[in-house]
Structure 1
């Protein structure tokens, strides 16, 4: 059976990483009670009964790891669009790992990998706001707020697994047209933290390697990693 449901755990990603030797390609770790979820840059992922939290383990070649967060985000969009056809073309991918609806965060992805002799095991942690989120959570939106129908957790998990397994042998370059039409940041002025400096410039797109392109003055540079600190919509 591909589904492992835990009564409670601190983080499905942490549990999956600690039990990698027991997991197989496509296995899903799921809990309805995650007590210490993690997001990108060690942010805390606040979980409640209204949030689907799960981790999916995939076996990839080492070369496939580059830009995989974008591929995973696209798979989440495909899964939601399949179950909620009225949302086709309405969901956006915010580099590198967030899914936005109506300008607000609907879902987040956290990819963590371990390198073996000639391949990689990657754990794709996914959080989706299903029902209304607390008002204390900034800039968030839920499936309940964008659609009259909210799929049950089992249907969402199965579709997420299918979409991830369908895309996991593809590359960012192959999927770039699909990624670009869903690019939330393109054309927006952003404040970006490279890890060594902060830049303010225009996000101009995503390149073949999955890097974020930012124009500062007359120069456009690619960025493989970093954090978007702010988005200016003016």
Structure 2
């Protein structure tokens, strides 16, 4: 954190979206104009849209609401909240502290230097544009009880966003949220524990809030953001508080009723329900009609051979 303190102070000063001269910024931070220019380039490397106009100085493309622990905790109870503006990975931060964390502990970041998605893929994480949130949860019933949990988390996030006005948010098996057939968010659940013992889960989420086309140029699939899905977009601190509360409620319910209690809710939100899809399993491609999920969280796919469940392995789903 210390090595980023000057850059974070610079972001805070420019978060009002107004122009600030390099001289004024340098005086406030006790550094030269040349140093300011160097820090600006580094901020651009974080994905911040900073531009310079001769005679006016530097400005962000728009006003930026920074995450604030006090504002979040004023809206939701949280046993432990770590806000680390610049981090390698919110998931990894919690995984490194398993055994030391209370149930429901949360880590938030403005920018991930090594954010990751499923199967080791990189998760693009520009500074301040999105929401990067991870939560720790312990399942005393063990690792087997976590089957289908990514589906339940998807339901929780989709339903929470719907309460905020994003009525058309949908889920995509097994771990994504969609809006109008474009990816809005991804879920990554990582787990540690021994057979017969409690499972320690870290539930990570990356939600595109206001990511611009420029910031998302390296994404290799159709994507969208919450600005497009919600007419009255809440501030990110309110959004974080709503999601933390809903995740806590949903995970508590999941421990009591299991995946079986969520199947109907999934089917109401399923973006691909009763639509033709391609299921990719390694080099194998299976085409059919998506018919929801079963009690184990498997995708039900109807082909000429009938309806069959598919789960685990290297599985991804793509609309035809």
d(CA) in 2 for partners of 1:46, 1:123 = 19
Note if 1:142 corresponds to 2:225: yes
- Give 2:81's aligned residue: 3
The structure that has the greater radius of gyration is 2
1:56 to 135, 156, 181: 135
Asked if 1:119 is matched to 2:119, the reply is: no
Q: Which residue of 2 aligns with 1:69?
A: 150
Q: CA contact under 8 A between 2:166 and 2:231: conserved in structure 1? A: no
Pick the structure with more strand per residue: 1
Of 292, 297, 303, the residue aligned with 1:216 is 303
What 5-or-longer segments of structure 2 have no aligned partner? 1-78
Paired residues of 2:169 and 2:229 also in contact (CA < 8 A): no
1:212 to partner: Cα distance: 0.1
Q: Give per-residue Cα distances to partners, 1:154-173, cap 9 Å, x unaligned.
A: 22222212111111132211
Q: Distance in 2 between matches of 1:16 and 1:95?
A: 25
**Structure 2 residue aligned with 1:174:** 261
1:128 paired with 2:207, answer yes
1:24 match: 102
Q: Is the 1:133–1:141 contact (alpha carbons within 8 Å) kept by the matching residues of 2?
A: no
Runs of 4+ with deviation above 4 angstroms: none
Residue range with higher mean Cα deviation, 32-41 or 181-190: 181-190
Instruction: Quote the Cα distance in structure 2 between the aligned partners of 1:229 and 1:209.
Output: 18
Is the contact between residue 190 and residue 228 of structure 1 (CA under 8 Å) also seen in structure 2?
A: no
CA contact (8 A) 1:203 1:212 kept: yes
- Structure 1's unaligned 5+ residue stretches are none
Q: Aligned in 2, Cα 1:196/1:119: closer, same or farther, shift over 3 Å?
A: farther
TM-score (norm 2): 0.67
Higher helix share: 2
In the TM superposition, residue 128 of structure 1 has moved relative to its aligned partner by 0.7
Q: Is the 8 A contact 1:79 1:156 kept in 2?
A: no
Aligned residues: 229
CA contact (8 A) 2:170 2:271 kept: yes
The RMSD of aligned alpha carbons is: 1.8
* Cα shift readout 1:139-181 (whole Å, capped 9, x = no counterpart): 1111111223222222222221211111113221101111111
Q: Is the 8 A contact 1:132 1:145 kept in 2?
A: no
Q: Deviations over 1:70-96 (max 9, x none)?
A: 0011111122123x1x323x2111001
Residue 79 of structure 1 pairs with residue 157 of structure 2: no
In the superposition, the TM-score normalised over structure 1's length comes to 0.90
Q: Deviations over 1:181-208 (max 9, x none)?
A: 1111222222222346332222222112
Residues 1:41 and 2:119 are matched in the alignment: yes
